[in-house]
Amino acid sequence: MALSNSGKNGWLLSIPALILLIFGAAGPLLIVVVYSFLEPGDFSGVIWNFTTEAWFRVFFERDIFDGTVSTADAHLTIFWRSLKLSILTTLATFLIGFPMAWFIATQPPNRRAAWLFLITIPFWTNLLIRTFAILEVIRNQGLLNSFLIWLGVIDAPLQILYTDTAVLIGMAYVYLPLMVLPLFAAIDRFDFKLIEAGYDLYASRWRVLRRIVIPIVRPGIVAGSILVFVPSLGAYVTPRILGGGKNMMLGNFIELQFGQGRNWPLGAALSMLLLVIVLTALLAYVRATSVEDRHNV
């Protein structure tokens, strides 16, 4: 009886959190789902008539004259650019972040806190300010081009700003700490005696890295990749400033539909598509970690 009462009390105590989740998370998400199956209004908003036209227009388009259906090449280009830049950002942050995390993890304990402090400093600054800082570095008269011209490497400034390369550089800089911290946590628990054992068995450095280090720190690699890939896929500020209007990503395209495009159902359908992609990535992470746990057992 006492156990039953404690269970009821537990549910009563969780009611405020459940209400917050329903109205703060599930409620707005449900509104977006409903909007994706409605007709767009004449001047923004929606018309309460059920239709799947918004989902159809995510991937296809109709000719305004003869009604023929063709693939929405502009939409697919934005999807591909978003996916490509997100994957490249994840790869770039891993290639840069893994050596950084290894360096920090191999430092004396009294120095690790200082290095981690330096890694987290960018989080103290607003994302918009960090993005403008990168803009000042890569613009035509920025620090990078001025330095290369001073060295005599180039005669004219490199056009980096307002390209996919600029967006990649900006997102790699912004999300690099999200890769370094999980990698450090995984490497910090690594038993370095295993490396010595590998060398004693005449394994090369590459073989030790591939067969010993990476499999053991794989949970940190997967966690860091998810933490970088998910926000990169829906990034808005960095592509908007560094990519300009011609190099928009999925987040910019969604904002365009709710703003100037005045097509809320299409924006809602695109938002749900982004959510599906993110959930797929999270499920892949859960599956990878569960397989790793089974192997450890």
The overall average pLDDT reported for the chain is: 87
Residue pair 160/243 in contact (Cβ under 8 Å)? The answer is no
pLDDT tens digits, 247-278: 889 999 999 999 888 899 999 999 999 898 88
pLDDT tens digits, 175-207: 999 999 999 999 998 888 888 888 888 888 899
Residue pair 55/66 in contact (Cβ under 8 Å)? The answer is no
Average the pLDDT over 205-229 and give the result.
Answer: 89
What pLDDT band is residue 9 in, cutting at 50, 70 and 90? Answer: low
**pTM score of the predicted model:** 0.86
- Write the CB contacts of 183 (distance below 8 Å, at least 6 apart in sequence): 94, 97, 98, 101, 102, 217, 220, 221, 224
Say if residue 170's pLDDT is above 90: yes
Name all domains of the chain by residue range, CATH numbers in brackets: 72-296 (1.10.3720.10)
Helix (H, G, I), strand (E, B) or coil at 60: strand
Residue 63, judged by CB atoms within 10 A of its CB (0-12, 13-18, 19+), counts as exposed
Stated as kind and residue range, the H or E segment containing 69 is strand 69-71
Report the C-alpha gap between 50 and 56 in whole angstroms: 13
- Strand-strand pairing, 46-47 and 60-62: unpaired
Strand partners, 71: 60
